[in-house]
Amino acid sequence: MPPTGAFIPWSGQEACFNSSGRVLPCLGSGQDGELRSGVVWPEPRFTEAGPGVARDGLTGLQWPVDASAALWPMTWDEAAAWVEGANNRAFLEHDDWRLPSRRELLYLTCPARARPALPDAHPFLNVFQHWHWTATPFAAPGASGDSAWRVHLEGGRMFPGPQSAAHMVLPVRGVSAILPETPELAAASRTLWPSPRFETSDGQALDRLTGLVWLSQPLPDQGAATWQEALDAARRLGAPWRLPSIYELESLVDASQAWPALSGGHPFPGDLDGVWSATSSGFDAAWAWVLYFGKGAVGVGHKPGRHFNFLLTRTT
């Protein structure tokens, strides 16, 4: 697990799978379902925090039980205006609602579940299984104009989309120990963002924000690997090295940057993009979660395909 103060949760994955998506014994697999790295979920995870409000015991954040309280999809600017209006009318007896950051909404999801991509026994009603806005703008405007991060509640993917697109709104309130996703957010929350963020030595890079250590050279040295080849390479190298969970991979992202979405002075190749995680997809276990370092996006890849590189990590 990351050191105290570095909040990276467990993904919720309890099972292990082969490259065809069939369940297999976890022992010795090196998969997320075996290692279960990260902050353990409380039991129960969700409790009532007042009429129509649920508290997530993992993060401490509070969410409306009615996940479609905003009623209809809207643009990013309209979403911000809806939240302002909700505060003006003391929505659910509170006036401090806001759009969640990308990492806050991502950590509400469960990458091991789908339809919706939410933890078992979640309390939410009227979950619209489509894109939901976050408050985090995408760092690189595209041909269609400015974009912002959004999370898809059917499968859990996180990609940027044009701010002019119409998506749902799930507001949040409260503060938590979730790692800031940019230096600016770190400063606003009075959280230390180390400078330099990475400390490198002998081909290893310590992320001073999370405490995780990474091999700074993506593998394989040339070409790409299947998901199983990535797991096999980690096993050959041996403990404490392992293939990271998708949340551990995502913790490397600096959302204020793009191409790649990594802090200045990072130790990785500048063209680093798709990287395998040890976390199988809850939508289809023949796929596994992938981090796209170019944008900082969270998606999936077909396990048998040689499409991606991989990074190995260990705790300090």
Q: Which tokens sit at 13? A: 């994955």
Q: What is the mean pLDDT of residues 261-279?
A: 95
At residue 217 the predicted structure's pLDDT band, cuts being 50, 70 and 90, is very high
Alpha helices in the chain (DSSP H): 32-35, 76-88, 102-108, 183-188, 227-237, 246-250
Q: What is the DSSP letter of 19?
A: T
- 59, 177 contact by CB (below 8 A): yes
At residue 141 the predicted structure's pLDDT band, cuts being 50, 70 and 90, is confident
At residue 4 the predicted structure's pLDDT band, cuts being 50, 70 and 90, is very low
Neighbouring CB atoms inside 10 A of 97's CB total 24
What domains lie within the chain, and their CATH numbers? Answer: 29-38+180-315 (3.10.100), 46-162 (no CATH)
Please tell me the pTM assigned to this model: 0.95
Percent of the chain at pLDDT exceeding 70 = 97
pLDDT tens for each residue of 286-305: 999 999 999 999 999 999 99
Ranges 2-16, 138-152, 192-206, 216-230: which has the least confidence: 2-16
At residue 189 the predicted structure's pLDDT band, cuts being 50, 70 and 90, is confident
pLDDT tens for each residue of 70-83: 999 999 999 999 99
pLDDT tens for each residue of 54-70: 999 999 999 999 999 99
242 pLDDT higher than 50: yes
Q: What is the mean pLDDT of the chain?
A: 95
Q: What is the mean pLDDT of residues 220-238?
A: 96
The pLDDT of residue 5 is 46
At residue 144 the predicted structure's pLDDT band, cuts being 50, 70 and 90, is low
The pLDDT of residue 143 is 53
Question: How far is residue 25 CA from its own chain's centroid?
Answer: 26
Q: What is the mean pLDDT of residues 5-18?
A: 92
What whole-number distance in Å separates Cα of residue 246 and Cα of residue 111?
Answer: 8
What whole-number distance in Å separates Cα of residue 87 and Cα of residue 95?
Answer: 4
Exposure on the CB side of residue 92, measured as CA atoms within 13 A: 21
The pLDDT of residue 1 is 39
2 pLDDT higher than 70: no
Max mean pLDDT among 142-146, 181-185, 241-245 falls in 241-245
Q: Is the peptide bond before 44 cis (omega within 30 degrees of 0)?
A: yes
pLDDT tens for each residue of 83-125: 999 999 999 999 999 999 999 999 999 999 999 999 999 999 9
Percent of the chain at pLDDT exceeding 90 = 93
What whole-number distance in Å separates Cα of residue 76 and Cα of residue 144?
Answer: 14
